[in-house]
Structure 1
Amino acid sequence: PPSPCPASAHACVDLDGHTSWLQDGGQRSYGPVPISSGSADQPTPRGSFHVVRKVENEVSREFNNAPMPYSVYFTNQGHAFHAGSPSVESAGCIHLNNDSAKKYFDSLNIGDEVFIY
């Protein structure tokens, strides 16, 4: 079935399908790739967001300085795409394998739309 992700979005996340992809003008440009997302206690928000900041060598002060390489934040509450195991639930972030996280970091810019469903 067609994706509900709008053509205006640069990154799309299908939480139930555990996948994400990049797109340009509604056409997939990278992916889909496997992801993991937040747990039931700390869910990843659904909806339309915009990239608010990027930090290449981020660490989480909230989670004992856990590494978060290639962080691309899409909320001001700390939700981001970043390198991590796609087989381990997060605290609300989107985990991507390292190569995919780098691709998202290099491809997404401040203001780009992120659509999560």
Structure 2
Amino acid sequence: MISSAAQQSFQQMVERAIQASPLVQGAAPRTVELLPDLARLHSTQAVVLSVSSYVFRLTFMLHFSDDAATRQHFAMLARIAPQDFSTQAFMDGIRECGNVCCGNLNRDLVRAFPHIGMSTP
């Protein structure tokens, strides 16, 4: 495991990565919560992301709800009428959001870890 200071730093980096994403512009600020107990989780969907270097691997899950409000938000971002927004388009939008957040996190980490890579969700 990692130290609590390292956990806090990663948490702050992930929050910055999410806030920097153009996919959440106009939305309420997002926060990152480390859940030691997944039973507290209310969403049923997740995108699994990883960032790694030679010395570490960071894996995290971007949880989301497949509800009308979330679909409407991603339809608006895609400039598609909500009634025309397919399940595939919704999942593509969620994955792209994860990919953008992962790329933003990668830019933060590359300062300390020059040999870093990221997954494609």
- Asked if these proteins are the same fold (TM beyond 0.5), I'd say no
Larger radius of gyration: 2
Structure with bigger strand share is 1
TM-score, length-scaled by structure 1: 0.28
TM-score, length-scaled by structure 2: 0.27
Structure with bigger helix share is 2
